[in-house]
Amino acid sequence: MKRIAVVGGRGFVGGELLRLLVHHPEVEVAAVTSDTQAGRAVETAHPPLRGSGLRYRRRSELEPVDLVFLAGVHGSTAEILDDMAALAPRIVDLTADFRIEDPALMERYYGWSRDGEHARAFVRGLPELHRKQIVDATRVAVPGCMATSAILSLAPLAARGLLQDVQVDARTGSSGSGASGGDANSHALRSGVLRVFAPFDHRHEAEVAEALGVDVSMTVTATPQVRGVQTLAKVSVGDVGERELLAMYREDYGPEPFVRLVNSARGTFRYPDPKVLLGSNFCDVGIVADHRGRALVMGSLDNLVKGAAGGAVQCMNLMLGLPETAGLTFPGLHPV
């Protein structure tokens, strides 16, 4: 059994990591940290983990492990990276600290920049696009949830030079803001809303642009759901028809265990919808085209699983030489 530590296990992403890891057939959770909750049972923050026996400890109490997940607040990884590297030969980072390689992009979108050498040491944590690099990597940075949906849904077009100027319309549930989301995320102010909170320049916009190599504009809307992300992108595809476009997606994603092409002629859920993905590690993608050379590209996922903890565990499996799907085969809940 591989020994795993989770640093920053109090938030929603940390809780999802633990939910997946405690039932993983090939690993054991050696430690979970939260300096403010040290000594307390993990189940006080994450009730589904009742009976796990896990307790928080201080980060200073960590012992060597095979791999460490860093799930603290954005900006925390850079401060502790050297200490963590001394304890674990492999690191999977779920913060934003090293998601973007270009220091200028990082400065523009986050207001800080990281050492370029450190940033280049991290592989982008999307197995569907970077599997070979992840297998050999010692450091992986998991993309943001909306970035993951947008990148995976648009990547087949980008790979064939069919993307130029891209506009992404992203919708996200309240858990995307974390366990400490502030007053705007309280039930009284979030319930029933369709709130455009980032008309332009959302931070995930930079990740999509860098990953796809095209100019991207992203608008983000807060929805009443707790979990779930959906991204829509309108693109020009010229004289490429829908049948040919679908063939491209089948070619790229047909063998993938966690990306599904959804474009059905019948049924209630004809296109990607996060409602049927809750708790799962799937990203559903779809594309439809009209007679004017335009296409709508769709992506959906659970922001806490494929958009964070599940994607991280998928990377862990590859880094440790385990079956890629281990611990990640839960199909989602329906109805919810």
> b/e string for 24-45 if b means 16 or more Cβ within 10 A?
beebebbbbbbeebeeeebbeb
Residue type, 36: T
Q: What is the pLDDT of residues 20-47, one digit of tens each?
A: 999 999 999 999 999 999 999 999 999 9
Identify the pLDDT of residue 65. 98
In the predicted model, is pLDDT for residue 115 greater than 90? no
- Spatial distance between the Cα atoms of 22 and 266, rounded to a whole number of angstroms: 38
CB atoms within 10 A of CB 122: 24
- Spatial distance between the Cα atoms of 216 and 200, rounded to a whole number of angstroms: 10
Identify the pLDDT of residue 206. 95
In the predicted model, is pLDDT for residue 61 greater than 90? yes
Q: Which helix (H) or strand (E) holds 296?
A: strand 294-301
- Spatial distance between the Cα atoms of 100 and 22, rounded to a whole number of angstroms: 30
Alpha helices in the chain (DSSP H): 12-21, 77-87, 103-110, 116-120, 127-136, 145-159, 187-190, 203-212, 242-253, 310-319
pLDDT above 90 covers what percent of the chain?
85
Kindly give, in sequence order, each residue whose CB lies less than 8 Å from that of residue 300, ignoring residues fewer than 6 positions away. Answer: 149, 228, 229, 230, 231, 272, 273, 274, 277, 283, 284, 285
Q: Considering 145, 163, 245, 318, which one is annotated as catalytic?
A: 145
Q: Which residue has the tokens 């009284």?
A: 188
Quick one: CA dihedral 90, 95, 100, 104, positive or negative? Answer: negative
For the chain, how big is the Rg over CA atoms in Å?
19
- Spatial distance between the Cα atoms of 273 and 13, rounded to a whole number of angstroms: 21
- Spatial distance between the Cα atoms of 334 and 316, rounded to a whole number of angstroms: 28
Cβ-contact 324, 300 below 8 angstroms = no
In the predicted model, is pLDDT for residue 116 greater than 80? no
Q: Mean of the per-residue pLDDT values for the chain?
A: 94
Q: What is the pLDDT of residues 151-208, one digit of tens each?
A: 999 999 999 999 988 999 999 998 887 776 677 777 778 888 899 989 999 999 999 9
Q: Which residue has the tokens 């009742």?
A: 50
145 has catalytic annotation: yes
Listed range (137-151, 181-195, 221-235) with the worst mean pLDDT: 181-195
Cβ-contact 287, 249 below 8 angstroms = yes
Nearest to 287 by CA among 175, 171, 153, 163: 153
- Spatial distance between the Cα atoms of 32 and 18, rounded to a whole number of angstroms: 9
Identify the pLDDT of residue 239. 93
Identify the pLDDT of residue 75. 84
Identify the pLDDT of residue 187. 79
Is 47 buried (19+), middle (13-18) or exposed (0-12) by CB count in 10 A?
exposed
Cβ-contact 211, 123 below 8 angstroms = no
> Largest Cα–Cα distance of the chain, in whole Å?
62
Listed range (110-119, 281-290, 299-308, 310-319) with the worst mean pLDDT: 110-119
Q: What is the pLDDT of residues 81-90, one digit of tens each?
A: 999 999 999 9
Q: Considering only residues 103 and 249, tell me which one the structure prediction assigns the higher pLDDT.
A: 249
Q: What is the pLDDT of residues 270-291, one digit of tens each?
A: 999 999 999 999 999 999 999 9
Is 261 buried (19+), middle (13-18) or exposed (0-12) by CB count in 10 A?
middle
In the predicted model, is pLDDT for residue 114 greater than 80? no
Identify the pLDDT of residue 181. 64
